[in-house]
Structure formats: structure tokens, C-alpha cells
Structure 1
Amino acid sequence: MPLISLQNLSVRFGGNTVLSNVSFAISAGEIVTIVGPNGSGKSTLLRSIIGAQHPDQGQINRSPGLRIGYVPQKLHIDPTLPMTVRRFLSLPQRVSDQQAATALEQAGAGQLASRQMVNLSGGQFQRVLLARALLCAPQLLILDEATQGLDQPGSAGFYQQIETLRETLGCAILMVSHELHVVMAASDRVICLNGHICCEGEPEQVASAPEYRALFGSGTQGALALYRHEHNHRHDHSCGHDHGQDTANQTRPAPASETHP
């Protein structure tokens, strides 16, 4: 049984269709990345999954008692408000010192408990948000542009931490990012979204799909292969087909153009 499955999900704002007939499922321990241009419905999709947006059509089926941790794009904290990392982790519900220390360690932020939130670097702040999402021992961890504003080494380190979490905690991970070659290299499966699902499959399959190239350009395929080589030292990069089945070329009709409200 998948942790969560979406069936023909559609969301409309006014007269605009933002998502149309989106269907996919996520299984335990899987890393799935959603990529797509601005306005493609990525954040709306995540908001629907966490229950913050009600779909106009379709179903979202969650396994009973599914625990979801969520890391937003950004979170504004009043810079005049004195608040330590430890205090932040106890909002809105108090957690024990041991719970806080464990979550910070898992997020790679074990030395930050006594630091003021306003004094953290961008990378440290995102790791604290990750620690907060880990407090519920999530079965599904959702990250919406979690490395926005970080430099390339900071982003790569963050995604390496995510891979480690999958290995140590066994949770599934659903990510949205614009850093195509970095985030795709850390993924088991990629879903290319543009209001509908254009193509999906393993990273190399999607990077070679015509639908993906039409949205992002052919140069991203080479960038992905290069990053996978440097990151994993692999030499077995297959493109396009997997055991004779090209899932990346399963296209679906595009909906009417969509805009966010």
C-alpha cells in the first residue's frame, strides 16, 4: 500500500485551472521530486497534499495515521523577537530536550539549540526548519523549495542530508525545487508538472523526455549526468528507456493556461 495516492486531482482558482487530472502515488522510503516552471502548480499540489488546499475534483488517499512533516519555502520571524532555536522547536507544542536534540542532530544542526533564530545563516535556518518537521517522526517528509536562497554547496549539503534521513529513518520524501540537476540527482523518481503531469520516471528518463526539454532546455540533461557522475561516481547512466519501457514519454493533454491567485 502506498503512503499516499492522488487520483485525478484538479484545482481551480476562479476560472483558471491550476492542476488538472494529477495522479501519482508515493511509497515508503521513496524520494520523489516535483519539477516544473513558475506557475505550474507545484506549491498548490503540496498544499493540497498537506490539507491546506481543498481540491475541486479527485481524491487524495492517505494511509491511516500518516505522519507528514513539512518544510516550507520560507518562514518570516520578527527580527526584534528574541527566540532561541530550542524555544522555536517547542512552538506551538512543547517538546522535550531529548526530542529537540535528536531532531537537530538528524537535521545536521546539533550545535544550534542555544542560538538565536535571527542570527542563523540561511542554511542553518533551513536545517532548523527541517528539524522542526522531523519532530513528529514523519513517514512522509515534504519540502517546498527548501533550499531557496542557498548557494550551490549549501544546497548540495542539504540534499545529502535528506538522502541520509531516508536511509536512517526510512521515511518517504517529496520535494519541489528549481535546482534541477542537483535535486534530480538525489531522487528515485521525478514528476514534471505544468498544470498536468507532462512526464515522469527515473531522473535520466525525465531529463531525456521531449516534454521536459521543451520546458527547461536540452542543456539540463547534460548537467544532470555530470552531477550524478561527480556526486555518485557512477558510470552506468542510461537514458530514455528502462527495460524497454519509456515511462517518461507518457504524455497527457495540457489543460488551459493556469495562474496563481
Structure 2
Amino acid sequence: MSLVQVDELCVTYGATTALSRVSLRIDPGEIVTIVGPNGSGKTSLLRAIIGAIKPFKGQVSHAHDLKIGYVPQKLHIDETLPITVSRFLNLQGGVTSTDISEALTQAGVPELEKAQLSQLSGGQFQRVLLARALIAKPDLLLLDEATQGLDQRGSASFYQQIETVRNTTGCAVLMISHELHVVMSASDRVICLNSHICCEGTPAVVASAPEYRALFGSGTGGALALYRHEHDHGHDHADHHHQHTKVVE
């Protein structure tokens, strides 16, 4: 059974249509990435999935007792606030020191537990936000432009950690991003969105699809191939998932 099922979703803001007849699913254990230009409805789709906005038409269905972990685009913290990473992760309550240690380890930064939040780099802070989302042991991890502001190396490292999280915890991942070839390389399935679903499939298939290239050009395919060559090729899970593409006119 799918964790999330979206059927004929339409989202409007006044006279503006953000999403038109979008249908998709998210299955257990898979990494799905939504890519699209600015204003394509990516954030509206994520907000509809978590229930933050009500669709104009269509519906979003969740599996029973679905637990969702959310990594935001950014989180503003007063730099003068004297708070450690451990204390920050304990703010949501009901969290043990073991929970915090395990979440930081899963996020790839176990050494940061006693660090001051104000002294973290941008990449370290995003790992802490990832740990914060992992504490509840989610079935589905949602990331909304989670590496905005990081350089390409930092972004690539973060998304490789997301693969590790999926492989070790079994959670599904839905990512929204504009960092095309980096985030696509960490994905089992990519959905190209421009108010409607233009095309979807494996990263390599989507990168070569005419509908994708009409939006982003042809340069991403070469960058995707280069990144995959440098990557550790730990994509056994991906190799057996969704070896097809669907193009929607």
C-alpha cells in the first residue's frame, strides 16, 4: 500500500491555478524528487500533502498512522541564543538522550550533540534539522529545498546522507528541489512539475525527456552522468524501482 496517494489534485489561489490535476503516489522505502521551475507548484504540492492547504479539487490520502518527518527550507534561530544542539532537539518534548544520539548519528553528525547551535555552519545546521525530523522515526521524510544556500559539494553530501537514512531506516523520502542533477542522482524516481506533471521516471530517463529539457535545457544530463560516475553507485534499491517514464501532455 502506498504511504501517500494524490488523486487529481487542483490547488488555486484566487484566479491563479498552482496545481492542475496532479496525481502521484509515494511508496514505502522509495526516494522521490519533485523538480520544477519557480512557480511550478512544488511547495503547494508539499503543503497539500502535509495538510497545510485545502485542495480546490481532488484529494490526498495517507496510510493509516503515517508518521511524517519534515525538514524545512530554513529555520531562523536567534544567533545570540545560548542553546546546544542536544537542548534544541529536546524542545519538542518526550525525547530521550538516546533518541537524540541516534538521530544525530543517522544524520551523519554525532559529534555535534554538545555544540552550540549558533556556532554551526549552514551544512551542519541542516544536518541538525534532519536529525530533528528523524527523532520521531518517520515513515515518510519530507524535504523542502533543504539545501538552499549550501554549495554543490555540501548539497551532494547532504543528499548522500539522505540515501543512507533511507537505507538504514527504511523510510520513504519526498524531496522538493531546484538543484537538478545533484538531487536527482539521489533519487529512485523524479517527477517534473510545471503546475501539472510533465514527465516522471528514473533520473536518467527524466533528464533526457523532451518535456524536461524544454524547462531546464540539455546541460543537466551531462552533469547527472558525471555525478553518478563519481558517486558510490549504492543504488541497488533504485535499480529495481520504476524503470519507466510517464509523460503527460
Do both share a fold (TM > 0.5)? yes
Question: By how many angstroms is 1:78 displaced?
Answer: 1.4
- The whole-number CA distance in structure 2 between the counterparts of 1:164 and 1:54 is 33
C-alpha deviations, 1:107-141, integer Å up to 9, x for none?
01111111111111000000000000001101100
Structure 1 position 247, deviation (Å): 2.2
Q: Are 2:165 and 1:168 aligned?
A: no
1:54 deviates by 1.5
> In the alignment, residue 110 of structure 1 is paired with which amino acid?
P
Measured in 2, the distance between the counterparts of 1:81 and 1:125 equals 15
User: Structure 1 stretches (4+) deviating beyond 4 angstroms?
Assistant: none
Decide whether aligned partners of structure 1 residues 30 and 222 sit closer, same or farther in structure 2, where only a CA change above 3 A counts.
Answer: same
Give the superposition deviation at 1:93: 2.0
Q: What residue is the counterpart of 1:237 in the other structure? A: none
Residue 133 of structure 1 aligns with an amino acid whose one-letter code is A
Q: What's the CA shift for 1:233?
A: 5.8
Give the match for residue 127 of structure 2. 127
Point out where structure 1 has 5 or more consecutive residues left out of the alignment.
235-241, 253-261
User: Share of identical aligned residues, percent?
Assistant: 66
Secondary structure of 1:23's aligned partner: strand
| 1:190 corresponding residue in structure 2 | 190
Distance 1:233 1:26 in 2: 23
User: How far apart in 2 are the matches of 1:100 and 1:4?
Assistant: 27
Over the aligned positions, Cα root-mean-square deviation in angstroms equals: 1.5
TM-score, normalising length: structure 1: 0.89
Question: Matched residue of 1:2: which SS?
Answer: coil
2:58 corresponds to 1:61:
no
Structure 2: how far apart are the matches of 1:152 and 1:65? Answer: 36
Matches of 2:230 and 2:100 in 1, distance apart? 34
Partner of 1:251: 248
The one-letter code sitting in structure 2 at the alignment partner of 1:46 is: L
Q: In the alignment, residue 141 of structure 1 is paired with which amino acid?
A: L
How far does the alpha carbon of each residue in 1:205-233 deviate from its partner, in whole angstroms, 9 at most, with x for none?
11111110010001111211221122146
Match of 2:237 in 1: none
**Could you tell me which residue of structure 1 aligns to residue 29 of structure 2?**
29
Q: In structure 2, how many angstroms separate the alpha carbons of the residues matched to 1:131 and 1:214? A: 37
For 2:228 and 2:155, the matched residues in 1 are separated by 15
Matched length: 242
Alignment of 1:196-211 (within 5 A): 196-211=196-211
Structure 2: how far apart are the matches of 1:194 and 1:231?
Answer: 29
Say if 1:233 and 1:50 are closer, same or farther in 2 by CA, change over 3 A.
closer
Alignment of 1:1-261 (within 5 A): 1-232=1-232, 247-248=245-246, 250-252=247-249
Partner amino acid, structure 2, of 1:172: A
Inter-partner Cα distance in structure 2 for 1:186 and 1:208: 17
TM-score (norm 2): 0.93
Displacement of 1:68 in angstroms is 0.4
Structure 2: any 5+ residue segments left out of the alignment?
235-241
Provide, for residues 178-208 of structure 1, a one-character-per-residue CA deviation record: whole Å limited to 9, x for no partner. 1111111111100000111010011111111
The offset of 1:94, in angstroms, is: 3.7
Alpha-carbon deviation of 1:33? 0.4
Q: Within 1, Cα distance between the matches of 2:223 and 2:100?
A: 38
